[in-house]
Structure 1
Amino acid sequence: MTQKTRPIQRFAQAVSKCTAEATVYGQCVVADYNSVHKNQCAKEFMALKNCYLAAAKQGK
């Protein structure tokens, strides 16, 4: 019997492949956290999102 991977496990595996992008995004947010505004770190967020989506696609 094969064990089915739970969605949270797939998410964790995909996110673990994007640590560099997560670090850059986190540094951007923390750099000016007292005056956060919309789209402040949009470029960094999109890089993280794209990394996650690519990693999730590979994991299927």
Structure 2
Amino acid sequence: MPGRTRPIDKFATAVGKCSKEGSAYGKCIVADYHNVHKDKCMTEFLRLKDCFLVSV
């Protein structure tokens, strides 16, 4: 079906546009990956989420 975009294509586009936010979130998680818990790096996650929502 021409004109339809698959969800994975939308996700891939959003990931490409949010590399700075994704990198910041990843660095935050990796900084202390033995102590990952709920809400760790929440600020970075919310920035990444907001970027994804704007990009999609």
What is the TM-score when the length of structure 2 is the normalising length?
A: 0.90
Aligned counterpart, 1:26: 26
Deviation at residue 3 of structure 1 after TM alignment: 3.7
Q: Which has the larger radius of gyration?
A: 1
Aligned residue identity for 1:38: K
- 1: CA distance between counterparts of 2:20 and 2:34? 24
- Aligned CA RMSD, in angstroms, stands at 1.3
Flag structure 2 segments of 5+ consecutive residues without an equivalent: none
Give every structure 1 segment of 4 or more consecutive aligned residues whose post-TM-superposition deviation is greater than 4 Å.
none
- 2: CA distance between counterparts of 1:37 and 1:3? 41
Aligned counterpart, 1:51: 51
Is 1:15 matched up with 2:12? no
What is the TM-score when the length of structure 1 is the normalising length?
A: 0.84
- 2: CA distance between counterparts of 1:39 and 1:51? 18
Flag structure 1 segments of 5+ consecutive residues without an equivalent: none
The one-character-per-residue Cα deviations of 1:18-51 (angstroms, maximum 9, x if unpaired) are: 0000000000000000111211110000000000
| Identity over aligned pairs, percent | 52
